[in-house]
Amino acid sequence: MPPDEIAMRSAVQWVEVAGYIASSLVFLTFYMRRMVPLRLVALCSNFAFLAYAFALHLAPIAILHGALIPVNIVRLIGALREGAANSNGDPRPGAANSHRYLPRRSGIA
């Protein structure tokens, strides 16, 4: 196999891996209950999608995730400030009122 073909295959594999990682991170955000970890994972997915989009010259994906980065940063800062101002000492953002918004966990493991 010529060296150019080997390099092309490894580049394609890298781009595919970046796409799968980005997609998996987005999927993971749907299972997160706490805002700070959700925003951190969302930011990681944004950067992974940017790498994927730039490698394949996918402008719509690059524009979307480039625009989502500042949104996630602003929301992350807000969640961190909310957590710092939490009156009950729990560092989780919204922990004082989280019982109102989240479903109760069942006793089943």
Tens digits of per-residue pLDDT, 43-59? 999 999 999 999 999 99
In a domain, 92, yes or no: yes
pLDDT higher than threshold 90 for residue 92: no
In a domain, 103, yes or no: no
Please state, in angstroms and rounded to a whole number, the distance separating the CA atoms of residues 105 and 36.
20
Name the band, by pLDDT with cuts 50, 70 and 90, for residue 85. confident
- Of the given ranges (17-21, 63-67, 94-98), which has the lowest mean pLDDT? 94-98
Instruction: Spell out the long-range contacts of 7-16 with Cβ–Cβ below 8 A and sequence spacing 24 or more.
Output: 11/55, 14/55, 15/52, 15/55, 15/56
In a domain, 102, yes or no: no
Print the domain residue range for 83: 3-96
Name the band, by pLDDT with cuts 50, 70 and 90, for residue 86. confident
In a domain, 108, yes or no: no
Average pLDDT of the chain to the nearest whole number:
82
Helices (H), the chain: 3-29, 35-56, 59-84, 98-101
Contact assessment for residue 31 and residue 42, using Cβ atoms and an 8 Å cutoff: no
Contact assessment for residue 70 and residue 63, using Cβ atoms and an 8 Å cutoff: no
In what helix (H) or strand (E) does residue 60 lie, and over which residues does it extend? Answer: helix 59-84
In this predicted model, what pLDDT tens digit does every residue of 4-39 receive, in sequence order? 665 556 667 888 998 999 999 999 999 999 999 999
Overall domain count for the chain = 1
In a domain, 9, yes or no: yes
Percent over 90 (pLDDT), the chain? 58
